[in-house]
Amino acid sequence: MKKYLLLFIIAVFAMSCSKKVEVKGKITNGSPLERIEFIEASGVATLPLANIGVKNDGTFSGSFEAPKSGMYMISYGGKNNLIYLKAGQNLEISGNGATFPTEYVITGDAKKNNDFFTASQKYLANYAQTVNMNELMTKDEATFIKGIQKVEADVNKNIDENAKKFNPDNEVIKWKQNDIKATLLSIMSQFEMMKKQMSGNPSFKVAKVFTDYENKLQENKDALLKEHPVYRQFLLSKMSPDFQKYAEAKSKGKTDVTTSELFNEYLKGKKDVSQITKDYLLAFVMAQSDIHPGSPVKTIDKIKKIIDEDIKDATIKKDLSQIQLAVNGLKIGEVAPDASLTKADGKAYKLSENKGKPYMIAFYASWNPYIGEATVPVLKEVVNFYKSKMNFVFVNVDDTKDQFVKTSNSLLKGITGTNVYAEGGLNSDIAKKYAVYGFKLPNFIIVDKDGKIASRSYVNLGEQELVEILDKQTGLSAPKVNPNVQMQAGFGPDPAVQPAPQEPAKAQPAQTK
């Protein structure tokens, strides 16, 4: 039996107008191969807003449009942390390459808010070690509620103390207070589910003292919904049993129905749920369940229709459309967007110059870990096999043209094709049109002889589906081998084979820490 579970809750102690946030700083012992990214922590999907390079001396600078003031995820070198940013402010941040951004130092505009946040997080980390949550979960309801109330009181006391010490903006204090409420609600949901399972009674209900406290924690529902993804998880957990029954009944005898379709229809019958709540919850389920690489065209079209017709909030609609484009790529059959590019000699170049012959667009950057040993040898094999029947355009998205020249001369020497630079790198016009992000590099897209998109975007040249598209566009027939191996890529074994970079399994919602 297919299970239409909306989520699994993991309870942990956690954590307007678009205006630019200007970023600068230094990472001692920082690596130019690592990038700094910022992601809105309260959004419905985790697409990076900025991808900033680190220079050889560890310094960096950049800017990005902040959708609103609030919590953002900052990542570097496989580590991440939360940071509170206000739209329009300057962020001066520094740290050590070994610990950044798990540990960071802020000066300037953002200092007081993040000093408060850092102190609050440090207290939570220490406090969590003093609370035996597993033992508390085994208690009766009354004892459990008293324990949870004590946790809330202790944490709020610390928040008040830190507020007096650091004098942060009021909205940061409110965010932290709501953060603990959302976390406690998730813990309470786990407790309720566990007690229901232990009772063996499908009609089991918690006592009034439990629901009263649960309602008290939700007094500010709008802020919890819009700022804390963990609260959205809590709401979904409350709906899960009812939705499971609904989905089983509605999907009986059907093989191609998606979770998003079922949940969308389920929500339409919930008259007591506000439209904005429906939008956030549906977006969460869509991102988790049905927006992922390799989705059939039919599923992609279904999801797009739901986004267009049933999501009412303009910001959520836009975010979902962007994540679907980033994950699934441009629609096959539509005209490939043109863009102004530059050759190494400074001459202008446009993709439309290839019309009349199929071509592959290959996006790459010097800092991407997979572009060297794992991709270049097989790329050379692909080009040599198909170059008589199609063109190849290598689009560099490094930060500067000088770096493009160095990278293309080093990596692509001897490989037939047109080497061009996208001014602005990942902020360039072409990167935005083709939804190219750091996590999707290298990136390969096929365009047919009529200038129309012929494939989704791939990060693995060895995927059999991509090989079949190349064969179809050229009339050639490549040898068939293991499609999961990047170095083979359908063109013969290689004793130095390395794992291929994989596309993300699914679009992930932003999480608080």
Mean pLDDT of 113-135: 95
d(CA 230, CA 189): 12
Let me know: does 398 contact 363? Beta carbons within 8 Å: no
Phi-psi region for residue 452, left (φ > 0), alpha (ψ -120 to 50) or beta? beta
Q: Residue 162 and residue 173: Cα distance in Å, rounded?
A: 9
Place of tokens 């490549």: 478
Degrees to nearest 5, angle at CA 298 with 292 and 303 = 55
Contact (CB, 8 A) for 393 and 445 = no
Residue 82 structural domain: 19-128
Q: Does 335 reside within a domain?
A: no
Q: What is the pLDDT of residues 50-87, one digit of tens each?
A: 999 999 999 999 999 998 889 999 999 999 999 999 98
224 or 5: which carries more pLDDT confidence? Answer: 224
- Structure confidence at residue 293 (pLDDT): 85
The per-residue pLDDT for 88 is 86
Residue 375 is predicted with a pLDDT of 85
CATH number for position 450: 3.40.30.10
User: Does a structural domain hold residue 396?
Assistant: yes
The percent of residues in the chain predicted with pLDDT above 90, rounded, is 77
Q: Is the pLDDT of residue 491 over 80?
A: no
| Helix, strand or coil, per DSSP, at residue 86 | coil
Q: Which phi-psi region, left, alpha or beta, contains residue 192 (left: φ > 0; alpha: ψ -120 to 50)?
A: alpha
Share in percent of the chain as helix, strand, coil (round to 5): 45, 15, 40
Question: Is residue 383 a contact partner of residue 416, using CB atoms and an 8 Å limit?
Answer: yes
* Final residue before a domain boundary, out of 110, 128, 146: 128
| pTM of the predicted model as reported, rounded to 2 decimal places | 0.86
Calculate ∠ Cα 28-76-457, nearest 5°. 140
d(CA 185, CA 189): 6
Predicted confidence band of residue 481 (pLDDT cuts 50, 70, 90)? low
Minimum mean pLDDT range among 8-17, 232-241, 432-441, 492-501: 492-501
What's the rounded Cα separation, in Å, for the pair 485 and 500?
A: 6
Residue 124, SS3 per DSSP: helix
Q: Report whether pLDDT(13) > 80.
A: no
CATH code at 43?
2.60.40
244 domain residue, yes or no = no
Q: How far is CA 211 from the centre of its chain?
A: 34
Choose one of 108, 128, 148: the last residue of a domain: 128
The one-character DSSP state at 339 is: -
124 assigned to some structural domain: yes
pLDDT for position 230: 96
Q: Which pLDDT does position 482 carry in this prediction?
A: 55
Spatial separation of the C-alpha atoms in residues 381 and 493, rounded to whole Å: 11
Among 128, 148, 168, the domain-final residue is 128
Domain assignment present for residue 200? The answer is: no
- Whole-number Å distance between alpha carbons of 334 and 340: 19
Considering only 233-242, 366-375, 483-492, which range has the smallest mean pLDDT? 483-492
Buried b (16+ CB within 10 A) or exposed e, 278-303: bbbbbbbbbbbbbbbbebeeebbebb
Whether 453 contacts 445, CB under 8 Å: yes
Q: Model confidence over 426-465: pLDDT tens digits?
A: 999 999 999 999 988 999 999 999 999 999 999 889 889 9
Please calculate the CA angle 21-156-125 and round it to the nearest 5 degrees.
70
Amino acid at 333: G
Question: What is the arithmetic mean of pLDDT over 126-152?
Answer: 94
pLDDT at 348 over 90: yes
* pLDDT(320) > 70: yes
Question: At residue 432, what is the residue type?
Answer: K
Give the other-Cβ count within 10 Å of 158's Cβ.
Answer: 19
pLDDT at 14 > cutoff 70: no
Number of domains in the chain: 2
111 in a structural domain: yes
pLDDT of 498 over the 80 cut:
no
User: 243 lies in a domain?
Assistant: no
272 part of a folded domain: no
